[in-house]
A and B are shown apart, each in its own frame.
Chain A
Amino acid sequence: MQTTPLPSFGRLPFTLSGLRAGFRACIPVSVGVAVYGVLFGLLARQKGLSFLEAESMSLFVFAGASQLIALDLWGPELPVFSLIATTFIVNLRHVLMGAALAPQLLRLSAGKAFGSLFFMTDESWALTLTRWAEDRRRGALCDGGFLLGAGLAVYTFWGASTALGHVLVRGLDDPARYGLDFAFTAVFTALLVGLRPRRADVLPLAAATCAALLAARFCPGKWYILAGALAGGLAAASTGPAKANPPDGTSPGTSPGTAAGTAAPGATAPGATAADNAQPKADA
């Protein structure tokens, strides 16, 4: 652990090219997100939400799972408090995701950090995490713009596809018919592989997997993500010594957030290659 005081690490860059790299890297995943945006727009219309209501939800709430769950609760007698409380609970996993990016976000201005967080989704979070881990591995500075760029890609596709689903689509096949329901599993699997877990990560990963499987079986909604994350974290906290910081000097010594960075020497970040390869899926 270094003892250098925090300020000496300075600010991270936040550039337009970083933002564009994030946007490009996130396009393939965003195409998958858009399939569900169309579905949301269509279901919202069937539930009686006006275009204004459906589109406001996609642009201001901007959280796929909680929006689809909200449709379930939506009715003539609006359960205002259940809707808001359910939304918060479904999104609790974001607390841990935001905390995991803190080492980098704390080195941006508050406006940039908290502004970027508005656009953070599971997908853009995961891409940014692996990209910044790869940057740290190579001893390069992380570009703070990447998170915002990746988030904006999802945001654009989500907003546009909601409108499309509400206005145009009269009927939609089940995405599972084309295997598209599996696209997200595939993306997150690839990102997990990109972190190149080491031997020390086996126990936390096993704990996370078991807890997630149990929670998915017995609890509704997205509780399984939070349950698995907490189980993995607790397993790691109760065993073994902390991993040493990588010798790149880019991480604040007092910070926990070597998180992603330590996981994986020598991996190719999916995010890095995604930029050169951003054509949408042929079958989407």
Chain B
Amino acid sequence: MMDAAALSPLALSLATICGMAVATYASRAAGLMLMSRISPGPRLTRFMQAIPAAILASIVAPSALASGSAEAMATLVTALTAWRFGNLPLAMCAGVAAVLALRPLLG
């Protein structure tokens, strides 16, 4: 960013948004750029193999396990529905319906 004072407020905010866009894209592209430059050994291979499930579990953990028993039960309902039917929209609806039904009961 050059001299911020020289820019009009709109130009400054649009330039900031550009900077945010570059920062976001850098994060999206960096993983592929790294992986195209290295050939991982067995340890890094195991590390990378575990990443997808670990990310999904991490996204889910706080809202599933640390926000209340209604959310925990609804997560179980979602998981069982997904396991049984393998249908994503169905599992999503089951989870939302379960949380709606259980929150008034379990708080």
A153 contacts chain B at the CB level, 8 A cutoff? no
Residues of A within 8 A of B19 (CB): 80, 83-84, 87
**Which chain B residue lies CB-closest to A81?**
B1
Residues of B within 8 A of A212 (CB): 57-59, 61-62
Among B15, B58, B83, B94, max chain A CB count under 10 A is at B58
A173 contacts chain B at the CB level, 8 A cutoff? no
B contact residues, range: 35 or more
Task: Determine whether the beta carbon of A114 is less than 8 Å from that of B58.
Answer: no
Interfacial residues of chain A within 131-168, with CB under 8 A of chain B in the complex: 133
Residues of B within 8 A of A94 (CB): 24, 27-28, 30-31
Task: Determine whether the beta carbon of A224 is less than 8 Å from that of B62.
Answer: yes
Task: Determine whether the beta carbon of B96 is less than 8 Å from that of A195.
Answer: no
Task: Determine whether the beta carbon of A87 is less than 8 Å from that of B43.
Answer: no
Q: Is the interface of A mostly helix, strand, loop or mixed?
A: helix
Q: Mark A99-114, 1 if CB is under 8 A from B, else 0.
A: 1111001100000011
Q: Is the interface of B mostly helix, strand, loop or mixed?
A: helix
Instruction: Report the separation of the CA atoms of residues A64 and B52 in the bound assembly, to the nearest whole angstrom.
Output: 20
A217 contacts chain B at the CB level, 8 A cutoff? yes
B90 contacts chain A at the CB level, 8 A cutoff? yes
Instruction: Report the separation of the CA atoms of residues A27 and B32 in the bound assembly, to the nearest whole angstrom.
Output: 26
Q: Mark A221-258, 1 if CB is under 8 A from B, else 0.
A: 00011011101111111101111000000000011111
Task: Determine whether the beta carbon of A236 is less than 8 Å from that of B49.
Answer: yes
**Which chain B residue lies CB-closest to A70?**
B20
Instruction: Report the separation of the CA atoms of residues A40 and B103 in the bound assembly, to the nearest whole angstrom.
Output: 25
Task: Determine whether the beta carbon of A259 is less than 8 Å from that of B59.
Answer: no
Task: Determine whether the beta carbon of B20 is less than 8 Å from that of A61.
Answer: yes
Instruction: Report the separation of the CA atoms of residues A195 and B1 in the bound assembly, to the nearest whole angstrom.
Output: 44
Residues of B within 8 A of A85 (CB): 23
Q: Mark A194-208, 1 if CB is under 8 A from B, else 0.
A: 110100010011011
Task: Determine whether the beta carbon of B86 is less than 8 Å from that of A268.
Answer: yes
Residues of B within 8 A of A88 (CB): 23-24, 26-27
Interfacial residues of chain B within 42-57, with CB under 8 A of chain A in the complex: 42-57
**Which chain B residue lies CB-closest to A216?**
B62
Instruction: Report the separation of the CA atoms of residues A32 and B51 in the bound assembly, to the nearest whole angstrom.
Output: 25
- In the complex, 16 of the A-B residue pairs with CB atoms within 8 angstroms, ordered by the A residue number, are A66-B24, A83-B20, A100-B51, A189-B78, A213-B62, A216-B61, A225-B55, A228-B54, A228-B59, A236-B50, A256-B49, A259-B50, A262-B49, A273-B86, A277-B90, A281-B96
Closest 5 CB pairs of A and B: A232-B54, A228-B58, A186-B95, A98-B31, A268-B86
